[in-house]
Structures are given as structure tokens and as C-alpha cells.
Amino acid sequence: MACKWVKGKLLGKGTYGSVFVAKRAYSSLFASHFSPTQVAVKSAPRNQSWSLQQEKKILHELRGCPHIVHCFENDDFESIEDGTEYYNLVLEYDDSGSLGQLLRRDGCITEFEASLYAYMLLKGLSHVRKKGYVHCDIKPDNILIFDNIPKKYKGAVKYNLKIADFGLTKKAGERSYRVVGSENKHRGTLLYGSPESVVFGVHEAQMDIWALGCTVLEMIFGNGGLWSCSYDAQCLAQMIAYYYVDDRISFILPVFNNLSANARDFVARCLRRNFQDRWTADQLLQHPFITQNQIILQHIQAQSALGKLLIDIPFILSQIPLQLFIIFLSWFVTYNFLKMFS
């Protein structure tokens, strides 16, 4: 069977392969209505593609959530390039890029926008947890932004957020911890790593919540988040193990006190040193930082709808006389027609 996609521009390279933009190899009326014109293709040598095939399996189980990137699981294909056989995983794509690229380009966003984006991410993380998985590498660069904004968010935010890159994802409860000083590597990106994951190699759902807290800080304050990018792995592990205290986030990040009370409390619930004290995604969805801004969003949408109605009123009124005349004329003709035969 002919391949549906032709790989194009290289988007990036990672530990487990390369990512390309791909376009449809052929066009048809059926294809144009039921599949996208371009996708992202994650590609790795066939003999090194275990991670991609595992990612396909995970995304199949996570399908249906609007805040998790979609996998076209029936479109994966093999190719031979320079004598090497490659496995190619096909994912949805939008050229808007990632949240990380957005923040590096535009800087920080408002608390209100960050709250709406946090809601999207929490819905995604809640779904991941319900399916029994831990993402293990939540960070702005692994969150894709899409132009297809859900109707409820239009006018409030510019993008729809979707969690991507499930290459490090593991089953919850699956043993993966290590002792301090062992050679086993930490899963994920150190700057977004939770204390238990960086120091002891414990990788459970709570580490995703920690990373979410770091991501929310980065959205509001710009690139950098909780920790300075200048810290190396050993220094970061020591700081977390010996100096990080729940109520001293402002000592590490002085601008933390500039947040609203709701935002400070939300982030603090995410960044508890003891992972057992961190709130779950479902609990955070009920936090005032989320719920109160959802209410504000509803008011904005209601005002927008009212404004549209007010704009349309002159047109509606201009149509009423004509419509009444047509109704009267129809009645008059029908009445007289029936009278002729009575």
C-alpha cells in the first residue's frame, strides 16, 4: 500500500528520533474532507523505534481527550532512507509551535490567560492519570499550541493547548526509582523535575503536578520558571534536597509575591516538597484560581453574545416589516383563493 505522507522540513531532533512536517502524498475529495493536509512525523531507525511504538500504544489509550495530541495510528509507516529502515509515527500538527516557543517569542502572559491554559493542561493530566499513566516530562516545549480554539475560549485566549511527547511516559506504580548516587537517570527535564524524581528517581503522577506548577510560573513570569537555567543537575538536586521549603518559594523566586493570592496558593499546592501533600489534577480543577477565572470567562462570553445581539438588532428590525408583509400577502392570496370556491 502506498504511503499517505511525504516527509518535509525537519522540526527537531530528540533522544528517540527526529520530527518532520509531512504533507499528503496524494489528494482526493475523500482525503481532503476526512484527514488533515499536513501532519507531524516522528521518525527513528526501525531497530531503535521501541519508544515510538510504545508512544503509539499510549496515545491509542489516551485518544479522545481534546487536550492531548492526536495520533493517526493507522497511518504509521516504514521508509528506507540512505539504506536505513525507519519507523514513522504520524501525529496531528499545527505550525503555531509549542508553548515554549510562544513564551520565548512573546514573553509572559496574564494570570487570566495562564489560568485558562492551566485548566486545559489539568484536563489533559486528569485524563492521563485516569488511564493509569505518568507523563514524566511536562514542560512548555512538550505542550503544543493549536489555532483551533474551542468555542468557549474564543476572544479570551489565542490557542488551544495539547500535551505532547509521551516518549518518557510510564505506567503509574511501575517501579523506576533509584537510590541517591546510583547511575540510573532521572526521567524528564531536570528544571521541571520534582524533589522525589530528581533526588530519589521516584516518578509518579505527582511529578507531573510539580512540572505543571513550574510551567504556570513560566507562563506568568516568562522563560525560566522556578529555577535558574544556570543550575547544573548536581547543584539542582542539592538545592531541592536541602534548601527547598514549601513556604519559601518567594526566597527562590522573589517575584512570586507579585502574584494574586489565588495564583500563589495554586502554585504552592503544585510545588509541595512532600509529593503526598501535592494536590491532584482533579483537586486543582476545583481551585479558585481555576474556577473563578472560568466564571469570568463565562461572563466575557455572555457579554460578547449580548454585544453581537445589539449589533444585529437594527438588521433584525429592518427585516420585520418585509417579513410581516410576506405573511400578510400569503394569507390574503390563500383567503381569496379559497373564497372563490366556497
Residues forming a β-bridge with 22: 7, 39
Tell me how far apart the alpha carbons of residues 121 and 125 are, in angstroms, rounded to a whole number.
6
- Give pLDDT tens digits for 324-338: 656 666 766 676 666
Please identify which residue in the block is written with the cell numbers 505542550: 143
Tens digit of each residue's pLDDT, the chain (342 residues) = 456 788 999 998 877 789 999 998 776 555 544 578 899 999 999 999 999 999 999 999 999 999 999 999 889 999 999 899 999 999 999 999 999 999 999 989 999 999 999 999 999 999 999 999 999 999 999 999 999 888 888 888 999 999 999 999 999 988 764 444 444 567 888 889 888 888 888 999 999 999 999 999 999 998 666 776 666 666 766 676 666 776 677 767 778 889 999 999 999 999 998 999 999 999 999 999 999 988 888 877 776 655 555 565 565 556 556 566 566 667 666 766 665 555
pLDDT (0 to 100) of residue 26: 72
Q: How far is the C-alpha of 134 from the C-alpha of 188, rounded, in Å?
A: 11
Question: What are the distances in angstroms from CA 107 to CA 135, 159, 176, 219, 222?
Answer: 26, 15, 36, 8, 5
Grid cell, residue 35, equals 484527514
Give residue 28's pLDDT: 54
- pTM for the full predicted model: 0.82
Dist. CA 209–CA 224, nearest whole Å: 17
- Residue 181: what pLDDT? 46
Residues 6+ apart with CB under 8 A from 340: none
Q: Is 42 annotated as a binding residue?
A: yes
